[in-house]
Amino acid sequence: MITEEKIYEVLQPIKDPDLKKSILDTGGIKEVKIKGENVSVKIALAKTGTAEQMQIQQAVVKLLKEEVGADSVGLRFDTLSEEEIKAQGGLEEKQSPKSLLSEDNKTEFIAVTSGKGGVGKSTVSVNIAVAMARAGKKVGIIDADIYGFSVPDMMGIDQRPQVVNDTIYPVERFGVKVISMGFFVEDNAPVIWRGPMLGKMLNNFFNEVDWGDLDYIILDLPPGTGDVALDIHTMLPECKELIVSTPHATAAFVAARAGAMAIKTNHEILGVIENMSYFESKITGERENVFGEGGGERLKDELKTELLGQIPLGQPEIDEENFAPSVYDTSHPIGEIYKGITDRIIEKIGR
């Protein structure tokens, strides 16, 4: 039988990352509800919307399932009042890493966006980032598709970022520094957050991650023109954009909305990438336009930009020892196409 006393007991080791004290000692456990095998807990921290909060979320869910026997765990977070924080000794001043949003930051931001899901936007993001690293550039990628994060899996990443003295250090793979919401949730769990909390998490990716010196940051945005895309446009007025579509007329039509948003916010559109352009038979060499044709051309005409490349349907050769299911090698024909696209992007930006 699940009891409130048992819940408090197993949560004793969980510490508020900023106050360095157990959430029991800070009065951080604000509410506990038990309904059969389902447990709901409300926790207050000195700071919310941080990567440390996500780590606490993982730890709490694990403890309540494994040690208490809960079938499902509902978590809500709140912020401790100023009086409660002062009563615990207040917050320590810490040296923050250099923000990507600082005025003297020279990193070029490239947002990869699309009008709809399922067009291969994340695959494009990953392969452009890797191709840039292979070209000798210092590159990072932010998986800003908070609800549909996939970059870690695509790149074969099975480790999490390190947190040292409240500073997050990104995971590095193929010479690319990577941060993703996928690092901070448990076992592919769904993320149920509203817009303001999403904005906080993005801010933390920019401000609390030690990226070092970078030439480029690739932002893998969620499809469409929702909260995250709006936040990016507000935070990064100098951001450049790549629009990804398929040849299908509908995909190109909705991708034009994402392009129109970029134009209205004075973001420079670097170009259009047409993904899944065709299927080429390895046996006969014959090409088949599985998803139609012409979408990329129509889109680049509408947005008054260029078609940077057409990427066929395909899959990388799988190397079990260096597993990365979506990263193309330079010797692969599609890898060569990505190299050509990336070279053109670097040429257009001029660094």
Indicate the pLDDT class of residue 327, thresholds 50, 70 and 90.
very high
pLDDT at 206 over 90: no
- 162-204 pLDDT, tens digit each: 877 667 889 999 999 999 877 876 655 555 445 455 556 777 8
Under 8 Å between Cβ of 120 and 255:
no
Residue with tokens 């149920």: 192
pLDDT at 310 over 80: yes
pLDDT > 70: what percent of the chain?
Answer: 91
What local confidence, expressed as pLDDT, does residue 161 receive? Answer: 85
In angstroms, the CA 101 to CA 109 distance is 10
What local confidence, expressed as pLDDT, does residue 283 receive? Answer: 87
- Cα–Cα nearest to 111, from 346, 299, 227, 270: 270
Over residues 1-7, mean pLDDT: 91
CATH class of 108-349: alpha beta
CA 100 to chain centre: 15
Count Cβ neighbours within 10 Å for each residue of 186-205 and write b for 16 or more, e otherwise: eeeeebebeeebbbbbbbbb
56-60, 65-69, 89-93, 347-351: the lowest-pLDDT one: 89-93
Over residues 133-156, mean pLDDT: 89
What local confidence, expressed as pLDDT, does residue 3 receive? Answer: 92
Domain boundaries, the chain: 4-87, 108-349
pLDDT at 50 over 80: no
CATH class of 4-87: alpha beta
| Three-state SS annotation for the chain | CCCHHHHHHHHCCCEECCCCEECCCCCCEEEEEEECCEEEEEEEECCCCCHHHHHHHHHHHHHHHHHHCCCEEEEEEEECCHHHHHHCCCCCCCCCCCCCCCCCCCCEEEEEECCCCCCCHHHHHHHHHHHHHHCCCCEEEEECCCCCCCHHHHCCCCCCCEEECCEEECEEECCEEEEEHHHHCCCCCCCCCCHHHHHHHHHHHHHCECCCCCCEEEEECCCCCCHHHHHHHHHCCCCEEEEEECCCHHHHHHHHHHHHHHHHCCCEEEEEEEECCCEECCCCCCEECCCCCCHHHHHHHHHCCCEEEEECCCCCCCCHHHCCCCCCCCCCHHHHHHHHHHHHHHHHHCC
pLDDT at 221 over 90: no
Over residues 303-332, mean pLDDT: 89
pLDDT > 90: what percent of the chain?
Answer: 46
What local confidence, expressed as pLDDT, does residue 109 receive? Answer: 93
Over residues 33-45, mean pLDDT: 92
Higher pLDDT, residue 249 or 274 = 274
pLDDT at 223 over 80: no
pTM over 0.85: no
- 270-294 pLDDT, tens digit each: 999 999 999 988 888 899 999 988 8
Higher pLDDT, residue 132 or 258 = 132
